[in-house]
């Protein structure tokens, strides 16, 4: 009883607070037991993109030499790098440092960017050098000129897919997808596109901050859930899409591919949404967060399909293993419904916005929505010092260019191989490999496991009911019956060389009783966890771990289909 009371406290916490509590608990447990603590927490990948980073650090050395070329004071002061002739100097310097890591990449990168984007070499190299030094405020504040052009090209591949949408997107470089979300919410409200009390739709399941932000007193939005159920392989059903016909719903926010489902919108779902917007809801504002798009072949975002209605959010964090760099982008098409809706606001609102942005421009009504997001990100008054730091923007250029130069998509194949290998190790560990086939929309970065279903089938009703009663249900809705599993970090046991790594997820009972411990032991072993005492041996798990004798497979064929369909 005391355990249940303790657990009830968790219901008042946000999912991230619960996560912190569980980490504390797991650390304590690992100190007193033989279980190792592995954190699959935030979906932080455990690999990094090395080539563009090598380029970055070598470029920094050249930049310092350029600074000293202008002025070298014995007290350690340098000058500001100058553009004239800088591309030729860089080329010569790279030849001299040809043995250094990154030299080959940088040499090819400049030639590639000049050719692909039509850059003037001195202007491009000077932007890189001056920015990596970081001796100026960001100008233009929204994004550096060459960086914007490069990232635009990158996003055409990473988000838009085929066919390439016509026209151009205006980009705003921001501190990761996190900042993108904050800035967009803020500007939609400031520009009277969303008012407190308005209704928006969220494609669920969704990355939980979207659920939390909408309910903050700052926004106080009403939320309609557009569900992508497991039974429909995490695609929105027709009935759910139909809800969007309601004109009360002002905006629809989605994460694609999903977090936590790992599923990208299928071509059919995109076609249905496109049809809905074109025929019934041309006024529907869309926000798509496509952080995981690069883990799906031929990914196509709503940004590519419905560019006029869509605000795109992209983050470099996951694909390039650079969560610490804080690199993200907001994309708004030059021809978009947001600007048009602002122009049609009631007179009083237009006047209020004239006042809000009047200090920035003599013609505030001509200020684009994307530039309003930039201004709002610094509470308008500090707009002159807005913008992502310049060394960050250089790293963003180099990540984007490295991917664009990789014609054979070797880096993408390697990232996909890692997450898929881990996902399939887990599926094998669950004894499901023979029941599931690949799903081209699945990114393998996250996955939802219906452990209740699985345990009922593999351990038996009695064990499930016991687990539910004793502890886990009392911290619903976060833990039981679904746990999110991530295939991107060390938690997936990536160090085993055979490629058949055991996945390590743990259901953590608060104070294990003998019976509960035995049930969890069976579950742990059956999903492929190894402890020092237990070796994974498919088919003989129970005998090996000395777990309980429950082993029913009382599940109906319908329920079995339901579970396995989500993984195909
Ligand atoms: C869907 C989604 N959006 C945004 C973020 C934030 O990422 P970052 O701020 O590192 O770019 C995450 C991180 O997990 C995410 O899963």
pLDDT for 57-100, tens place per residue?
A: 999 999 999 999 999 999 999 999 999 999 999 999 999 999 99
Cα(487)–Cα(423) distance, integer angstroms? 6
Confidence category of residue 458, pLDDT binned at 50, 70, 90 = confident
Helix (H) or strand (E) holding 476: none
Please tell me which residue, 23 or 278, carries the higher pLDDT value: 278
**For residue 30, pLDDT beyond 70:** yes
Q: What is residue 469's predicted lDDT score, i.e. its pLDDT? A: 73
User: Is residue 383 within 6 Å of ligand 1 at its C-beta?
Assistant: no
Cα(538)–Cα(553) distance, integer angstroms? 16
Please tell me which residue, 500 or 3, carries the higher pLDDT value: 3
| Closest atom of ligand 1 relative to the 315 alpha carbon | 11
* Total residues found in the chain within this entry: 568
Pair of tokens at residue 525 = 């072993």
Mean pLDDT of 549-555: 27
**Residue 253 C-alpha to ligand 1 middle, in angstroms?**
14
Q: What is residue 18's predicted lDDT score, i.e. its pLDDT? A: 73
User: Is residue 323 within 6 Å of ligand 1 at its C-beta?
Assistant: yes
**Average pLDDT for the chain:** 83
pLDDT for 218-245, tens place per residue?
A: 999 999 999 999 899 999 999 999 999 9
- Ligand 1 pocket check: which of 317, 319, 419 to mutate, most ligand atoms within 8 Å of Cβ? 317
Stretch among 12-16, 121-125, 381-385, 423-427 having the lowest mean pLDDT? 12-16
Q: Whose CA is nearest to atom 5 of ligand 1?
A: 177
Q: Whose CA is nearest to atom 7 of ligand 1?
A: 177
**What CATH architecture applies to the domain 50-136?**
Orthogonal Bundle (1.10)
User: Is residue 315 within 6 Å of ligand 1 at its C-beta?
Assistant: yes
Q: What CATH number should be reported for the domain whose range is 147-390?
A: 3.40.640.10
Q: Whose CA is nearest to atom 12 of ligand 1?
A: 177
Mean pLDDT of 282-308: 97
User: Is residue 289 within 6 Å of ligand 1 at its C-beta?
Assistant: yes
User: Is residue 291 within 6 Å of ligand 1 at its C-beta?
Assistant: yes
User: Is residue 258 within 6 Å of ligand 1 at its C-beta?
Assistant: no
Spell out where 175-318 has E strands.
Answer: 199-204, 222-227, 249-255, 285-289, 310-315
Confidence category of residue 452, pLDDT binned at 50, 70, 90 = confident
Share of the chain above pLDDT 90, in %: 67
User: Is residue 387 within 6 Å of ligand 1 at its C-beta?
Assistant: no
Please tell me which residue, 503 or 274, carries the higher pLDDT value: 274
Cα(392)–Cα(18) distance, integer angstroms? 32
| Closest atom of ligand 1 relative to the 316 alpha carbon | 11
User: Is residue 317 within 6 Å of ligand 1 at its C-beta?
Assistant: yes
**For residue 357, pLDDT beyond 50:** yes
Sign of CA dihedral 353, 354, 358, 360: positive
**For residue 531, pLDDT beyond 60:** no
Task: Tell me how crowded residue 274 is: count the other CB atoms within 10 A of its CB.
Answer: 14
Stretch among 29-33, 114-118, 438-442 having the lowest mean pLDDT? 29-33
What are residue 280's phi and psi, to 5 degrees? -120, -30
**For residue 409, pLDDT beyond 50:** yes
What value, to the nearest 5°, has the Cα angle with vertex 167 and ends 166 and 171?
125
Please tell me which residue, 155 or 476, carries the higher pLDDT value: 155
Q: What is residue 62's predicted lDDT score, i.e. its pLDDT? A: 98
**Residue 149 C-alpha to ligand 1 middle, in angstroms?**
23
| Closest atom of ligand 1 relative to the 176 alpha carbon | 11
**Residue 96 C-alpha to ligand 1 middle, in angstroms?**
40
Pair of tokens at residue 76 = 């350690």
**Residue 387 C-alpha to ligand 1 middle, in angstroms?**
19
**Residue 89 C-alpha to ligand 1 middle, in angstroms?**
39
**For residue 388, pLDDT beyond 90:** yes
Domain with CATH 3.40.640.10 in the chain: 147-390
User: Is residue 43 within 6 Å of ligand 1 at its C-beta?
Assistant: yes
Cβ burial of 8 (10 Å; 0-12, 13-18, 19+) is exposed
Pair of tokens at residue 428 = 């094998």
Domain with CATH 1.10.20.110 in the chain: 50-136
Q: What is residue 528's predicted lDDT score, i.e. its pLDDT? A: 33
User: Is residue 259 within 6 Å of ligand 1 at its C-beta?
Assistant: yes
Stretch among 55-59, 191-195, 415-419, 464-468 having the lowest mean pLDDT? 464-468
Cα(166)–Cα(304) distance, integer angstroms? 9
Pair of tokens at residue 86 = 């800088």
Mean pLDDT of 258-273: 96
User: Is residue 255 within 6 Å of ligand 1 at its C-beta?
Assistant: yes
Cα(289)–Cα(302) distance, integer angstroms? 10
Q: Whose CA is nearest to atom 4 of ligand 1?
A: 177
| Closest atom of ligand 1 relative to the 177 alpha carbon | 11
Confidence category of residue 3, pLDDT binned at 50, 70, 90 = low
Mean pLDDT of 271-281: 98
Spell out where 402-477 has E strands.
Answer: 446-450
**Residue 453 C-alpha to ligand 1 middle, in angstroms?**
29
**For residue 541, pLDDT beyond 70:** no
DSSP letter for each residue of 354-384: HHHHTTT-S-GGG--HHHHHHHHHTTTTTGG
Q: What is residue 468's predicted lDDT score, i.e. its pLDDT? A: 76
| Closest atom of ligand 1 relative to the 43 alpha carbon | 14
User: Is residue 328 within 6 Å of ligand 1 at its C-beta?
Assistant: yes
**For residue 488, pLDDT beyond 50:** yes
**Residue 207 C-alpha to ligand 1 middle, in angstroms?**
8
**Residue 41 C-alpha to ligand 1 middle, in angstroms?**
13
Mean pLDDT of 455-462: 86
**Residue 257 C-alpha to ligand 1 middle, in angstroms?**
12
Mean pLDDT of 48-57: 98
Q: What is residue 487's predicted lDDT score, i.e. its pLDDT? A: 65
| Closest atom of ligand 1 relative to the 328 alpha carbon | 11
At 203 the three-state DSSP class reads strand
- Ligand 1 pocket check: which of 44, 175, 207 to mutate, most ligand atoms within 8 Å of Cβ? 207
Q: What is residue 476's predicted lDDT score, i.e. its pLDDT? A: 34
**Residue 126 C-alpha to ligand 1 middle, in angstroms?**
31
Sign of CA dihedral 189, 341, 247, 332: negative
Please tell me which residue, 488 or 160, carries the higher pLDDT value: 160
């Amino acid at each position: 009883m005391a355990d249940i009371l303790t657990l009830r406290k968790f219901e008042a916490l946000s999912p991230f607070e619960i996560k912190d509590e569980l980490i504390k608990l797991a650390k304590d447990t690992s100190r007193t037991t033989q279980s190792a603590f592995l954190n699959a927490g935030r979906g932080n990948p455990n690999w990094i993109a090395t080539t563009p980073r090598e380029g970055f650090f070598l470029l920094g050395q050249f930049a310092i030499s350029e600074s000293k070329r202008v002025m070298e004071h014995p007290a350690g002061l340098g000058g500001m790098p100058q553009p004239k002739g800088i591309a030729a100097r860089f080329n010569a310097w790279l030849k001299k440092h040809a043995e250094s890591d990154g030299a080959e990449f940088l040499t090819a990168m400049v030639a590639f960017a000049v050719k692909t984007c039509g850059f003037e070499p001195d202007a491009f190299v000077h932007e890189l050098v001056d920015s990596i030094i970081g001796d100026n405020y960001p100008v233009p504040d929204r994004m550096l000129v060459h960086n914007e052009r490069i990232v635009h090209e990158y996003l055409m591949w990473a988000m838009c897919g085929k066919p390439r949408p016509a026209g151009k997107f205006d980009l705003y470089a921001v501190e990761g997808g996190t900042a993108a979300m904050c800035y967009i919410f803020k500007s939609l409200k400031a520009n009277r596109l969303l008012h407190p009390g308005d209704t928006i739709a969220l494609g669920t399941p969704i990355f939980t901050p979207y659920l939390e932000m909408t309910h903050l007193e700052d926004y106080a939005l009403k939320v309609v859930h557009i569900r992508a159920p497991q039974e429909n392989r995490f695609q929105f059903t027709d009935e759910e899409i139909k809800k969007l016909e309601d004109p009360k719903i002002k905006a629809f926010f989605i994460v694609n591919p999903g977090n936590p489902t790992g599923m990208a919108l299928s071509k059919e779902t995109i076609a249905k949404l496109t049809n809905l917007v074109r025929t019934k809801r041309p006024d529907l504002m869309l926000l798509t967060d496509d952080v995981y798009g690069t883990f799906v072949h031929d990914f196509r975002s709503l940004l590519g399909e419905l560019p006029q209605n869509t605000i795109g959010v992209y983050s470099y964090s996951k694909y390039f293993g650079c969560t610490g760099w804080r690199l993200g982008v907001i994309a708004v098409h030059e021809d978009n419904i947001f600007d048009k809706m602002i122009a049609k606001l009631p007179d009083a609102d237009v006047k209020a916005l004239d006042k809000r942005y009047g200090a920035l421009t003599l013609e505030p009504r001509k200020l684009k929505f994307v530039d309003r997001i930039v201004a709002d990100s610094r509470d308008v008054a500090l707009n002159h010092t807005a913008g992502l730091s310049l060394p960050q923007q250089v790293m963003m250029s180099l990540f984007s260019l490295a991917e664009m130069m990789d014609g054979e998509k070797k880096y993408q194949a390697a990232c996909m191989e890692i997450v898929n290998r881990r996902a399939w190790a887990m599926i094998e560990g669950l004894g499901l490999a023979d029941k599931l086939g690949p799903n081209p929309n699945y990114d393998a970065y996250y996955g939802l496991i219906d452990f209740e279903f699985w345990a009922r089938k593999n351990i038996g009703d009695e064990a499930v009911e016991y687990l539910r009663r004793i502890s886990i249900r009392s911290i619903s809705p976060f833990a039981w019956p679904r746990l999110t599993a991530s295939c991107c970090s060390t938690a997936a046991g990536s160090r085993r060389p055979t490629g058949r790594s055991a996945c390590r997820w743990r259901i953590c009972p608060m104070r294990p009783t003998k019976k509960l411990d035995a049930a969890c032991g069976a579950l742990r072993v059956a999903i492929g966890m190894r402890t020092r005492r237990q070796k994974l041996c498919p088919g003989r798990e129970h005998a090996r771990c000395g777990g309980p004798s429950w082993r029913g497979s009382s599940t109906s064929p319908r329920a079995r289909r339901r579970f396995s369909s989500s993984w195909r």
